[in-house]
Amino acid sequence: MPAPIEFSKQYIQKADMEMHEMLDKWEQLSQKTRKRLPLKIEDYSWNTARPDRVRPTIIAALQFVSHVERPPHLYSQPILQAARDAGVTSLERFIERTWLPEETNHGLLLRKAAIVYGAVPQEQHDRDLARIDKLNFPIGRGYTAGKAATYGEGQELITDLFYIAMRNNTYDPNLRSVLSDLAAQEMFHSRVYREFRMRFATPEDTVEAIAGFKMPGHITSPKLQQYSTGWAHELGFDFKRMRHSLATMLIEQSGYQGLGRVVTSEIIRNDYPTPIRTALSLANRINNPVINSLSGRVAARVSGVKLKAV
C-alpha cells in the first residue's frame, strides 16, 4: 500500500469545481425526469393496492426498509461534516439539495407502503419510527469526505439491489412501481457517490470504508436486520453483481493489495468455513503486500473481475 495521500488545496478546488459542473447537469435533467425528483406519495395509486397478492417476505421487508429509510437527517450529519472539513462544497450541495430531500421522501413513501400493505399497524409503526428519529447514530462519524463517499456508493448499491430483488418478486402494480422508482433513485445516488469517491477517496479511505462496512439497519432495526440476508437469498438478490461492483471499486482505488486487505478482514472472512477463515485471519495479521496482492487477485477472480497485469 503506498504512503497515505494528502490532497492539495488546488486539487480539491479543481475536483470540487468538476463536481459542481456535473451537479449542474444532473439538476437540470431532474427538472425533466420524474424519477429524478423527490418521489411523492400522491403519485401512486394506493387505492389499487392488493396486499393479499404480495408475498409475506416482501411485506415483512417493507417494515424493515421503512425503518432504515426513516432517519436520513441522522445519516447526513457526518457526511456534511466531512464535506465541510475537506472544503468539498459540491458534496454539501449534493446532500442538501438532492440526497436529503430524496431520501426523506423514501422514508415517507415506505411508511405509507408498510401501513397500506399491512406490514405493521400504523400506531405501532409510528412508535417505532419516533424511536428511530431519536437514535444516536454512530455510522460515519469522523469519516473523511472520501470515506463517506465510498461508504455511500456501497450502501446505495446494496439498497438498490435489494429494492430490485423486492420489485422482481412483486406483482402488485402499485408496489412494483414504488419499488422500481426507489431502486432508480438509489442507483443514481450510488453513481454520484462514485464520482465523489473517484475524486476524493484515498486508497486507505476505500479500504477502511469497506472493511468496516455496516448497513444502517444494524442500528435502526437490529432484529429485522438479522432476517435481511435470508430475505435477500429468498428474493434472488444479485450477490454476484454486489461482489463484482465492490471488488471493482476497491481495485480502482487501492489495487489488488487493497482488495486483499478487505477480503482478509473480519467482515468477509466470517462468512467462510473455519479453515478458510483461519487462513484469511492469518493473512490479515501478517499484512504483507505480496500476500495482500495475491489474496486480492484471487478475490477478483472469484468476484468475476477481469485481472489486469499490475
Q: Does 160 bind Fe ion (CB under 5 A)?
A: no
- Separation of alpha carbons 188 and 156, rounded Å: 9
* CB count in 10 Å sphere of residue 302: 11
- Find the shortest distance in angstroms from Cβ 43 to Fe ion: 16
**Among 70, 106, 194, 297, which residue sits at the site for Fe ion (rule: CB under 5 A)?**
106
Nearer to Fe ion, 105 or 254 (CB): 105
Q: What residues contact residue 185 under an 8 Å CB cut-off, 6+ apart? A: 35, 36, 39, 102, 106
- On whether the CB atoms of residues 15 and 89 are closer than 8 A, the answer is no
Nearer to Fe ion, 106 or 197 (CB): 106
Which among 63-71, 89-97, 161-169, 256-264 is the span making contact with Fe ion, rule CB under 5 A? 63-71
Kindly state whether residue 156 participates in binding Fe ion, applying the rule CB under 5 A.
Answer: yes
**What is the smallest separation between the CB atom of 217 and Fe ion, expressed in angstroms?**
12
Instruction: Name which of 231, 221, 215, 117 is nearest 169 in CA terms.
Output: 231
- 189 lies in the site for Fe ion, by CB under 5 A: yes
Instruction: Determine contact, residues 53/171, Cβ cutoff 8 Å.
Output: yes
153 contacts Fe ion (rule: CB under 5 A): no
From 184, 34, 38, 191, select the one nearest 107 (Cα to Cα). Answer: 38
CA–CA separation, 235 and 214 (whole Å): 21
In the chain, the amino acid numbered 151 is Y
Q: C-beta of 132: minimal distance to Fe ion in Å?
A: 14
Which 10-39 positions form the footprint of Fe ion (CB under 5 A)? none
Q: Does 186 bind Fe ion (CB under 5 A)?
A: yes
Least Å distance between CB 106 and Fe ion?
A: 4
Q: Work out how close the CB of 58 gets to Fe ion at its nearest, in angstroms, rounded to a whole number.
A: 17
Radius of gyration of the chain (CA): 20
Asked if residue 111 binds Fe ion (CB under 5 A), the reply is no
Number of residues in contact with Fe ion under rule CB under 5 A: 6
CA nearest 8: which of 89, 86, 90, 92? 86
Identity of the residue, 92 or 204, whose beta carbon is nearer to Fe ion in the bound complex: 92
Closest to 93 in 3D by CA, of 206, 192, 229:
192
CB of 156 to Fe ion, least distance (A): 5
Q: To the nearest whole angstrom, how small is the minimum distance from the Cβ of residue 141 to Fe ion?
A: 19
Rule CB under 5 A: is residue 181 a binding residue for Fe ion?
no
Task: Say which DSSP state 307 is in.
Answer: P
Binding segment (CB under 5 A) for Fe ion, from list 30-38, 105-113, 228-236, 294-302? 105-113
Binding positions for Fe ion, rule: CB under 5 A: 69, 103, 106, 156, 186, 189
